Chains A and B, each alone.
Chain A
Amino acid sequence: MTSAFKKALDSGKFVVTAEAAPSKGTRLEKMQHHVEILKDKVDGLNVTDHQSSVMRYPSLGGALLVKEHGGEPILQMTCRDRNRLALQADLLFAYSRGIRNVLCLTGDSVMLGDHKEAKGVFDLDSSQLLAAIRTMERGKDIAGNELDGAIEMCAGAIVTPEANPIEPQLIKFEKKIEAGAEFIQTQAVYDLDNFKRFMDYARRFPVKILAGIILLTSAPMARFMNKNVAGVVVPQALIDEMAAAPKGGALRKGIEIAGRMIRRIEEEEICDGVHIMAIGKEEVVPEIMAEAGLL
């Protein structure tokens, strides 16, 4: 059974995904609220997996919650916290409960999170996890044993188009596609001319590309990302634009910028869709989409 997200990717329409972050704890109301307001507006909801290595409610549980509320979950799976047995077991579980989309990530170092002394596992990497999924779809586990019931997943991965140096990332990107990635979500892009150059290269590959859009909420936040987030470059012009926003109007300006970028990506058919990361402000995603002319 093809997932609704996969159908959207294959239909050639402009695909929009957003994010739902599980809670730090058992109160899921906020996440539930985000799911409710977004599920009918986007083609998929990515459920983050201990994002930035901060321990939270599991992405598997979050993806089930999205499903129970009628949304289309994209399960994020990092290789940081589980060895190959646990990753495969979680894939079996996800499939058995109707989760059909997975985003494969290596995962941030535990040193960046809130359990700095934990053991980072990294038994597999993102490309090996993708290959594992394809093997399990053929009815075998990655040790070659028969599965009593296979899985079927629309599987994707990540690329950082602004990485420096870029070529090692591109080699990895190609490996991920060879390993079976059907869609690629990018790290945040802000310079669409640079991104177009990346797309000129990426277009050769049989994969759908969703441009990562991170909502800017203030000029200092943009500067912070430039300094601290690997592979994210916010051009000075955008920082100036944020800084020039009237007092109390920075978020509004951020929504406008994100909407404007998405509109251009769609109008110029730069890539196949966007993945909107509003990082805690998911309730404004519909506003961004409206600004982009998508609602």
Chain B
Amino acid sequence: MIRTITQPKPIEELERLLEGLDRIFIIGCGTCTTLTRTGGAPEVAAMQQTLSEKGKVVTGTTVVPVACDNLTPQILSEQGGRIDQADALLVMSCAFGVQTIASQLRRLVIPAQNTLFIGKERPDGRFDEVCTQCGTCIIGETGGICPVTACHKGLVNGPCGGTNNGKCEIDADKDCAWTMIYNRLKELDRLDAMRRYQRPRNHLGEPSPGRYRLPAAP
């Protein structure tokens, strides 16, 4: 399952964002931030307490099932006037949820998290970024391992000189993507793919901001 991975903003930053806003309504999300324990029911309750201790009035809290889904009518109707009474909504979802809520509720929204990446869940409570959705996929030539993402420098022609005992120069706990690719291609007897020179990448596979329209139905 892929998830949007988030990390709580430092409390000092939140305090600055909430300065002068006394009445806060908190919205959590039942999907990604529940899974990553950054915006599920327990975290929303903890945030309510933290804000109360800092002298804020929490007008209400809710954990919506999927914050990035269109939910306005439900949120509004279930919360009575408690959303309207707030100076701002503190949203404990990923930035997709924050933006969805901002576009629907016409209220000031403050994100409680930094959205880090789209991650793949591993069994041991770890999440790895495996694709940055670059628009020009090359993993057909790298044994299904993405160097654009898994290599810290996004190198497509092999390892840099910083690789150390199979680990990356930035982190002795992070596997060097090119050692993994080498091992995989070797296992598949496809090392020739690694010997092939890769031209400079097209960094504009999809010009940012990405936009895609469904083709007309036949």
B164–A125 touching, CB < 8 Å: no
| Residue among A120, A164, A172 with max Cβ neighbours from chain B (10 Å) | A172
**Which of A122, A128, A179, A230 is within 8 Å of B163, CB to CB?**
A230
A54 to chain B, nearest CB (A): 15
Bin chain B's interface residue count: 20 to 34
List residues of chain B with CB within 8 A of the CB of A158: 161
Q: Which of B161, B165, B191 contacts A171 (CB 8 A)?
A: B191
Q: Which residues of A lie under 8 Å from residue B181 when comparing CB positions?
A: 168
From A122, A128, A168, contact of B178 by CB (8 A): A168
On whether the beta carbons of B197 and A125 are closer than 8 Å, the reply is no
Q: Known: A165-B182, A230-B163, A230-B164. Contact between A122 and B155, CB under 8 A?
A: yes
Are the C-beta atoms of A165 and B179 separated by less than 8 Å? Answer: yes
Name the A residues within 8 Å of B179 (CB-CB): 165, 168
How many interface residues does A have (CB within 8 Å)? 36
> Smallest distance from the beta carbon of B184 to chain A beta carbons, Å?
11
With A109-B170, A120-B153, A168-B159 as contacts: A231 and B195 at CB distance below 8 Å: no
CA distance A245 to B194 in the complex (A): 46
Q: Contacting A165 at CB < 8 Å: which of B166, B191, B194, B201?
A: B166
Report whether over half of chain B's contact residues are helix, strand or loop; otherwise say mixed. loop
Chain A contacts with B in 239-258, Cβ cutoff 8 A? none
Closest-CB distance, B54 to chain A (whole angstroms) = 28
Q: Which chain A residues (127-175) contact chain B, with CB distance < 8 Å?
A: 127-128, 131-132, 142, 158-160, 163-165, 167-169, 171-172, 174-175
Q: Assess the B161–A128 pair: CB atoms within 8 A.
A: no
Contact assessment for B197 and A231 in the assembled complex, using a CB-CB cutoff below 8 Å: no
Q: Which A residues between 186 and 206 are near B, CB-CB below 8 angstroms? A: 187
Given A175-B195, A230-B169: A109 in contact with B157 (beta carbons within 8 A): no
Whether A174 contacts B182 by the Cβ 8 Å rule is: no
A84 interface contact, C-beta 8 A: yes
Query: Chain A, 224-247, contact with B by CB distance < 8 Å: what is the 0/1 string?
Result: 000000110000000000000000
Evaluate contact between B165 and A109: CB separation under 8 angstroms: no
Question: With contacts A106-B161, A168-B178 known, what are 12 further pairs, Cβ within 8 A?
Answer: A80-B153, A127-B157, A128-B199, A131-B197, A164-B165, A164-B166, A171-B182, A174-B195, A175-B195, A175-B197, A187-B161, A230-B161
Q: Which residues of A contact B197 (CB under 8 A)?
A: 127, 131, 175, 178-179
Chain B residue at minimal CB-CB distance from A132: B200
**Residue in B159, B166, B179, B198 with the greatest tally of chain A CB atoms within 10 Å:** B159
Report how far A184 CA is from B130 CA in the complex, Å. Answer: 33
